[in-house]
Amino acid sequence: MQLEGTVVSKIFGKGSKSEYQGVFLSTPQGDYVLRQHGNNPFDDPELKKLVGKNIVATGEIEEYIFFVDAVRVRE
């Protein structure tokens, strides 16, 4: 599936055992945690580089996570 939105960085899981500075895709349908299979979910430099950008991403939604397969940055 394809989602379009803005990549933002904010705290995930405040006070929990998975609290971290998460990378989210903010879309009109809601916010999803962005992840890539095989990468460290708490620290993915490739996703961090997208913060602040508008993107079109292809991937799959699993619960509150959007697993990204491909990203196109909109100019």
| Residue numbers at the binding site for other proteins (CB under 8 A) | 10-18, 20-22, 24, 30-31, 33, 37, 40-43, 62-65, 67
CB of 6 to other proteins, least distance (A): 14
Nearer to other proteins, 48 or 53 (CB): 48
Q: How many CB atoms lie within 10 A of CB 55?
A: 17
Q: Which is nearer to other proteins, 37 or 75 (CB)?
A: 37
Q: Which two tokens stand for residue 51?
A: 């913060």
- Taking the mean position of all CA atoms in its chain, how far away is CA 73? 13
